[in-house]
Amino acid sequence: MTENLEKHKKLIRNLVEQAQALNYNDQKAFHKLREKARMILKNIPAVKEYASSLLNIEVDLPSSPWGNTIGHMISGEWDKTVNKIVGPLETALQKLELFGDETPKETEYSNKIFIVHGHDREMKESVARTLEKLGLRLIILHEQPDMGRTIIQKFKDYSDVGFAIILLSPDDKGRCSRERSKLRARARQNVIFELGFFIGKLGQKRVLAIHKKHKEFEFPSDYAGVLYAPYDAAGKWQYKIVEELQAAGYSVDANKLTSK
């Protein structure tokens, strides 16, 4: 146990308590705490991978039936939003308690990148071309030969990669059977399954989920620490891919993105 371990755990516990004590709908305090939490996690080497998951957390204000934004959230939605900060913090704390704060030795990973996708062909092709520009080998399952294998056998055989990019496009709709809420857009079930598979196989910092913006999109639950990036028209997602690949030890050059 290193000398700073208890200090790091105490810092994170304090952040969790501050998040849970946030006043209802205090958006200014929420954003301030989110940035503070991100900065602290970023500076604890053993759990810095969780800092990125706090990057894009916003307070999504609901809209009225007339289309204008309402300036406050209902209590249940506010609690869910606060939990988006608490989740990564508690996961980081659990990691420190189980394994201490020594940074584990990096493993050598394959130069192959797996792309998990749904029905959005344009999104898949754009991400694939980006990886090709960066000089990486990409694996798209349906483009590989079947050789008489079942889907799960084929998936397992081609999952020997160093990084996975999960494309969350709003292809399906669903809701909890116990609620009467309206249907919300979701990624396909195979995409969620493969997201969980790669988190278990590679760890959170080697899995990047890119989501297509949609007003009613529902993110998978219970995935604290997963990196999410919006698929925006300006192409900022391409540089997020470069950033995360570099953080995972890949030698990739963002300048190649502008080449034809």
> Per DSSP, which regions of 109-179 are E strands?
112-116, 137-139, 163-168, 172-174
What is the CB neighbour count within 10 angstroms for residue 150?
Answer: 9
* % of the chain residues with pLDDT over 70: 83
User: Which of the 8 DSSP states describes residue 135?
Assistant: T
**Residue 133 carries which side chain, given as an amino acid letter?**
K
Is 104's pLDDT higher than 60? no
Q: What is the pLDDT of residues 160-218, one digit of tens each?
A: 899 999 998 887 787 777 767 778 778 788 888 888 888 888 888 899 999 887 777 77
Q: Is the pLDDT of residue 126 over 70?
A: yes
One-letter amino acid of 105: K
Residues 161, 151, 212, 55: is their CA dihedral positive or negative?
negative
Q: Is the pTM of this model over 0.75?
A: no
Tell which wins on pLDDT, 260 or 22: 22
Structure tokens at 112: 């192959």
- Cα separation, 186 vs 172, in Å, equals 5
State the pairing for strand pair 227-231/172-174: unpaired
Distances (CA, A) of 137 to 128, 163, 186, 210, 232: 9, 11, 28, 19, 24
Closest by CA to 85, choosing from 36, 42, 146, 134, is: 36
Residue 105 binned pLDDT confidence (cut-offs 50, 70, 90): low
- DSSP-H helix ranges across the chain: 5-20, 27-42, 75-99, 121-133, 151-157, 189-202, 236-247
Mean pLDDT (whole number) for 67-85: 66
Pairing mode of beta strands 137-139, 227-231? unpaired
Q: Left if phi > 0, otherwise alpha if psi is -120 to 50, otherwise beta: which for 197?
A: alpha
More confident residue, 245 or 101: 245
Q: Is the pLDDT of residue 56 over 70?
A: no
Range in 3-17, 34-48, 89-103 with the lowest mean pLDDT: 89-103
